[in-house]
C-alpha cells in the first residue's frame, strides 16, 4: 500500500467529483441517505443504547457509500444493499466491520466523556438523549467549552475512521492498522482535507442562503422552513458521495483490492 501526498487544491476536486457522481444517480444517493437517517431514527428510539448503536453504524455505512459511489461512476444504480457491503463479504469481514463500529462508538463516547469535564455532562446528555435546548444553555460558557472539547477530541477520531472502513475491506488490514494508516493519510494530506471541508461548508451555506432567498422572494417564511430540511438532506447525501474520491487520491489505486 502506497500513500499519495496530494496538493491542497485536490480537496476542491474531491467535492467536484462527488457532486458529479451524485447527479449521475441522485435518486439512489438520496434514497441511501434517507435509509441511513431512518435507521438512526429507529435506533434512537431505543433507550440509552440506541444512539450508541447508531454511532456503530457509521463505519459500515461509510463503506457503503464508497461502494455506491464506485458503482455510480461505473454507470450502475446503487441498491440499498450496498449500505451493508461490509457485512456481506464473509463472516470474518463482518466481524471486522462490527469491531470497527464498536471502536468508533467508543471513541465518540470518549469525546463526550472529555466534554463532561466542562459542563457536568450537559452537552453529552443532549447528544445522546436529545431534548430541547434553550438559549441560556446554548450561550453558557460551560456548554460552549464542552462542545469545543468534544470537537477537539473528535477531530483525530474522524481522521482515524475516515479511510479505515475501505482500508479494512479493500486492503485486508486489521482494525488497528486501518485506523493508523487512515490517520497518517489524513494528516499528510491535511491541506487537501482542509480545502475539502471549507468547500463543502461553502456548498451547505450557499444552499441554505439560496433557499432563504427564494423564501424572501415568495414572501413565505413557512415555505423556507418546510423546504430547508429536505434540501439539506439531499446536500448531505451528495457529501457522502464524495468521500470515495479522497480515499482514491490518498492511496495508490494500483494497490487497491476491490471486493
Number of separate domains in the chain: 1
**Which of 145, 136, 189, 135 is closest to 163 using CA atoms?**
189
Q: Which grid cell sits at 123?
A: 452537552
Tell me if 29 sits within 8 A of 237, measured CB to CB.
yes
Residue 222 has pLDDT above 90, yes or no: no
Tell me if 53 sits within 8 A of 42, measured CB to CB.
no
Based on its alpha-carbon atoms, the radius of gyration of the chain, rounded to whole angstroms, reads: 19
Does some domain include residue 4?
no
Does some domain include residue 3?
no
H/E stretch holding 202 reads: helix 190-218
* HSE-CB for 152 with a 13 A CA cutoff: 9
Instruction: Enter the pTM of the model.
Output: 0.88
Does some domain include residue 5?
no
What is the residue-averaged pLDDT of the chain?
A: 89
* pLDDT tens-place string over residues 152-185: 999 999 999 999 999 999 988 899 999 999 999 9
H/E stretch holding 250 reads: helix 221-250
H/E stretch holding 80 reads: none
Label residue 226 by pLDDT band (50, 70, 90): confident
Distance CA 3, CA 129 (A): 40
Task: Enter the DSSP assignment of 63.
Answer: H
* pLDDT tens-place string over residues 89-109: 778 888 989 999 999 999 999
Distance CA 239, CA 166 (A): 17
Residue 258 has pLDDT above 60, yes or no: no
Which residues form the domain of 210?
10-255
Amino acid at each position: 500500500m502506497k500513500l499519495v501526498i496530494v496538493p491542497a487544491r485536490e480537496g476542491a476536486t474531491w467535492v467536484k467529483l462527488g457532486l458529479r457522481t451524485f447527479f449521475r444517480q441522485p435518486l439512489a444517493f438520496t434514497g441511501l441517505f434517507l435509509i441511513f437517517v431512518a435507521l438512526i431514527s429507529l435506533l434512537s428510539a431505543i433507550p440509552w443504547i440506541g444512539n450508541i448503536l447508531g454511532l456503530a453504524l457509521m463505519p459500515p455505512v461509510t463503506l457503503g457509500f464508497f461502494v455506491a459511489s464506485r458503482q455510480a461512476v461505473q454507470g450502475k444504480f446503487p441498491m440499498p444493499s450496498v449500505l451493508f457491503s461490509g457485512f456481506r463479504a464473509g463472516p470474518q469481514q463482518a466481524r471486522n466491520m462490527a469491531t470497527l463500529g464498536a471502536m468508533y462508538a467508543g471513541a465518540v463516547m470518549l469525546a463526550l466523556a472529555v466534554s463532561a469535564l466542562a459542563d457536568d455532562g450537559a452537552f453529552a446528555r443532549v447528544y445522546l438523549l436529545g431534548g430541547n435546548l434553550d438559549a441560556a444553555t446554548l450561550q453558557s460558557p460551560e456548554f460552549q467549552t464542552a462542545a469545543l472539547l468534544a470537537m477537539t477530541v473528535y477531530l483525530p477520531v474522524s481522521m482515524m475512521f475516515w479511510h479505515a472502513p475501505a482500508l479494512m475491506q479493500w486492503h485486508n488490514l486489521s482494525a488497528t492498522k486501518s485506523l493508523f494508516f487512515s490517520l497518517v493519510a489524513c494528516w499528510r494530506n491535511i491541506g487537501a482535507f482542509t480545502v475539502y471541508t471549507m468547500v463543502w461548508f461553502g456548498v451547505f451555506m450557499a444552499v441554505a442562503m439560496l433557499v432563504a432567498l427564494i423564501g424572501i422572494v415568495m414572501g413565505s417564511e413557512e415555505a423556507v422552513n418546510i423546504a430547508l430540511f429536505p434540501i439539506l438532506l439531499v446536500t448531505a447525501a451528495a457529501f457522502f458521495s464524495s468521500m470515495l474520491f479522497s480515499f482514491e487520491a490518498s492511496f495508490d489505486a494500483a494497490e487497491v483490492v476491490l471486493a
